[in-house]
Amino acid sequence: MAAPDDSSTRVDSLPAFNRVQDWPGRRDVRPAPRWLWAVLALLVLAGIGIGAWYMWPKESGPGNFLVELLHTADDFRPDLATTRPDEAAGLVLDELGWSVTPPDLPALALVGVGVPTVASLKPTSAATAVQVRLPAFRYEGAGGERAIVFVYDYILLDRLGNALDLPDATYAVLSEPTPVDARALDGLFVVTWRERAMLLTAVTEDEAVAERIRQAVAA
């Protein structure tokens, strides 16, 4: 019998080749269409972009100045126990050189004054931290109600720079004809109002006390 002529026999005509093609586990492998590669490339680029955005250092905004006042109010103990507004004003003048009179608040009596540190900031150009101290007046009611009132101004807020600031919504309210902002924050009630160039913030645990203060300073 003559040997097969390799030059004249096509591989795809051999029975063995056909059996391989018909094997149950074989699947035709076709190149992916170009549009699929384009979609995959876009997904990869999008993933890289999102990852870079999350990993890229971001500038954080200033902290909430009202939150610092809340923390200070929680631990505040007066330096001087007094019910006399002139004595309280005298201590602030001696400590800070500020001429500040404690406000009159409805159904609350002045019981003490102090100059606590509400924040400790370390500017990049300074070797030591700068202590931010404010006048603070403690008030109490006949039923045990309590409120701490802090006094400051826009000049102080400017000095705090990008470290601490009032919320934008508070600034907006303080620019209105009735400049009184009241809000609940971290389970406490905060009332901030403006008297000419001075800003005052009262912090209390009692919602009714906060509402009385808001109505009184808005009148």
pLDDT value at position 109? 98
pLDDT value at position 47? 61
pLDDT value at position 170? 96
What whole-number distance in Å separates Cα of residue 91 and Cα of residue 98?
A: 10
β-strand partners of 29: none
Q: Which helix (H) or strand (E) holds 85?
A: helix 85-96
What whole-number distance in Å separates Cα of residue 115 and Cα of residue 133?
A: 6
What pTM, to 2 d.p., does this model score? 0.72
Spell out the per-residue pLDDT of the chain, length 219, in tens. Answer: 444 444 444 444 544 334 334 444 444 545 556 666 666 666 666 565 555 434 444 445 689 999 999 999 999 999 999 999 999 999 999 999 999 999 999 999 999 999 999 988 766 555 567 789 999 999 999 999 999 999 999 999 998 888 899 999 999 999 999 999 999 999 999 999 999 889 999 999 999 999 999 999 999
pLDDT value at position 26? 46
CA distances (Å), 50 to each of 41, 82, 197, in order? 14, 59, 46
Domains of the chain: 63-218 (3.40.1000)
What whole-number distance in Å separates Cα of residue 211 and Cα of residue 171?
A: 20
Kindly state the DSSP code that residue 105 receives in the 8-state scheme. -
DSSP strand E in the chain: where? 63-64, 80-81, 109-114, 117-121, 130-133, 136-140, 146-153, 164-165, 180-185, 188-195, 198-204
Kindly state the DSSP code that residue 123 receives in the 8-state scheme. -
CA angle 92, 98, 100 (to 5 degrees): 70
β-strand partners of 87: none
What whole-number distance in Å separates Cα of residue 147 and Cα of residue 3?
A: 110
pLDDT value at position 46? 59
Using DSSP's 3-state secondary structure scheme, residue 101 falls into: coil
pLDDT value at position 208? 96
